[in-house]
């Protein structure tokens, strides 16, 4: 996945593939890893709901009649 990938798409892919973490690549360079734990933190903060993911996976619009927003982005890993 790219650093600007939509988080709902990333979660959907993780669920479909049955994987626990996803590498984030920028021009082929590893810049981070998103794990299930990272996703749970976002859900716990209320920034992403299971309905958001379900609607994205089903290709359905959100409650306002629009496709679920792409505001949930993966964060770029900070250099060590």
What global pTM score does this model have?
0.62
DSSP assignments along 20-66, one per residue: SEEEEEETTEEEEEEEHHHHHHHHHTTSS-HHHHHHHHHT-B-TTSS
16-50 per-position pLDDT tens digit: 999 999 999 999 999 999 999 998 888 888 888 87
Calculate what percentage of the chain has a pLDDT beyond 70: 75
Angstrom distance (rounded) from CA 61 to CA 51: 11
Architecture of domain 7-58: Roll (3.10)
For the chain, give every domain's residue range.
7-58
Is the pLDDT at 3 greater than 90? The verdict is no
């Amino acid at each position: 996945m790219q650093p600007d990938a939509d988080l709902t798409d990333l979660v959907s892919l993780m669920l479909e593939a049955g994987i626990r973490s996803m590498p984030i690549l920028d021009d082929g360079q590893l810049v981070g890893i998103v794990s299930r734990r990272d996703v749970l933190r976002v859900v716990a903060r209320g920034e992403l709901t299971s309905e958001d993911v379900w609607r994205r996976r089903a290709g359905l619009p959100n409650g306002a009649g629009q496709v679920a927003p792409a505001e949930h982005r993966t964060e770029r890993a900070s250099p060590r």
